Structure formats: structure tokens, C-alpha cells
Chain A
Amino acid sequence: MAQRDARFNQHVLVDTTPMPDHIPKVEEIGTSSAPLLSASYFIGARCKAFNDDFMQCKQEANGRGEIDCLKEGRKVTRCASSVIKDINTHCLAQFKAHWECLENNNHNLFECRSPEFSLNKCVFQNLGLQKTIPGAPEDQVPVHLRPRQKYSVNAWNQFDLEQRKEAREAGASLFKQQEQK
């Protein structure tokens, strides 16, 4: 080719062409960033298989993943929106409290442990989904069950008395489970 300089611009490119008709339409997740972050660990808990499947498909597709893995991608979207739908029907108040707290605190999870604790509790009771942090050291209490949040600006100790007691019990039962293993 002749002398033609490559032109790059720093925009995020958005293709607004609608999908062709033979590809089934999926309803998009209608939530913005804060509710998504708030629900993320529960989405991970329920949809791990679908997500791993999608990532494996993309890895094996040799760069054609965007086209070849549409089916897996639809499953990922559907699973995530099912989680958000369930949280909305069962734990709307706790969910709202948590993501509003996140939005007001620079999306830092460590500033909002108290609403997070009640959300985790409600979701576990109603949906059976439990927050686990992947890759966290197993011999320590996970950070969302610790009463003292080291980096928090608002308050070091964010749990109230009842939550502190429950968190201690939850941490103790986790240790017991690991000892039995």
C-alpha cells in the first residue's frame, strides 16, 4: 500500500448497528455500575459455571470469540440478570442501601460493610448465595466479616453490636469447616 499513516484515536468505539435477525435478542441488564458491584459476588456465586464456560470458549476460539461465543455470552447475561432479578424481589431494601452507600463512597466496599452484612445475610437466607472472595487466604477471617476495616475513612468499626456478634460466629463457623476439611 502507498504511504498512508495509521490514524488512531483514543475513543472507545461503539458500534450501533443492530444485530442481525437470526441472532436471538437478549434483554440487557438494566443496572448501572453501583448495583452491579453490589451484586457482583452473588453473580459470581451463581454464574461461575456459565462465566468459566464463556471464558474458555473465548480462549479456544482463537480470536473469533465475539462471534463464536454468542450463545455462551447470552447464557452469562441471562444468569446475571436472573441474580439481579432475585435480589430485587427478595432483598430490595438491603440492596438499595448497599449500592447507595457504595455510590456515595467512591465504590469502596470497605466503607459499606454494615449494609453489606445485612445484604449478604438476606441473600443467603432467601437465595442461598454466599459471598466468597476468590483467592483469599483460607486461614484468615475474610475481610467482609472482620469488624475492623483498616482503610475506612468513615468508621473503623462499621458493624453494630448485633452484626459484630453474628460476624464473629460466622467467622468461627468458617474456621470450623476448614478444620474439618
Chain B
Amino acid sequence: MVIKAKIIDEIGLQRTITRLAHEILERNKGSENIVLVGVRTRGEFLARRILKKIVEIDGNEPNLGILDATLYRDDFRTRLKQPQVSVTDITFDITDKDVILIDDVLYTGRTTRAALDALMDLGRPRTIQYCVLVDRGHREMPIKADFIGKNIPTSLNEEIKVKMKEIDDEDAVYLIEIEN
């Protein structure tokens, strides 16, 4: 693994989160009907930060939930390692809400598909809008994000590594090359 570039640094991440929060509020005309749902693991921290920003801007605090889409994955039989499941923590009703689904990296779209299925089992939202920090391309499903922090075109032997202070030692987004 070789780090090829630091694409977003700490200040950059703050600005991106601020912009995403503004875009979400603009599209939804405020925060009255929205709820935020972060996809474990880094989507959760991203969602918390966007929530904090929304509170700062709008004064209102939308509900925040954490989604674990592991049980809805399509690769149980093909993966070598068994994925670890954790708890979905959405204690409010999402029916008729505008759900902002938040994740760190959009890649094949398979996790998003699993997350959408998981959300549909919890209720019938008015809309689901998808917010990602990085869109790296290479979609395998017809899925696109509504709010994008940064588009980073990548090759298949590259990887995007999002680091967040909540679990990593810094705030940053790296482009990494995998040697094989």
C-alpha cells in the first residue's frame, strides 16, 4: 500500500461538511422533515458532524440514526472473511420523512443497495437522499448520490481511505495504491 495523495485535509474536510450541510438544507428547504442516517462505520461519524453543522445553521435538531446494512449484503457466500454485524440504531419512525443517507465512500453501489433495502424494512420514507463524502466511480449498480463532497476518479487498483478523528488519528482523505 502506497499513499499517492492526500486529497482532503482537516480544514478541507470541515469546509466540505459545511457545504454538504448547506446543500441538504437548501434542497429540503430547512430541516423540519429530514432525518439523518449514517451507515456504519465512518458514515456514522460523518452524519454526526453534518448534524452538528445543521444545528448550527438551522437551530433545529433532526433525528440521527445509525444503520448497519451487513445483514442485507449480497456477498456472504463469495467473501473470504465473514463480515461482522453490529446494531442498527434507528429509534424513530422514518415513514414520510426525508431520509438523508450518509456514507463515506461511494464505489460499486452495493453497500448502498443493501442500505436502501435495510431502510425500506424500517418504514416508508417520503424520499431517501444519498450523501457521500467521496464518489470514486466504478458503479456496478444504477445508483447515484444527491450530495457529493468530492468526486475523485480512481483506477481499480487504487483505494480511497477516509480517516476521521473519532476512530482514526486524524481527519483526512487519502488516495492509496494497492500493489498486487
- Asked if chains A and B come from one complex, the reply is no
Binding site for A on B (CB under 8 A): none
Binding site for B on A (CB under 8 A): none
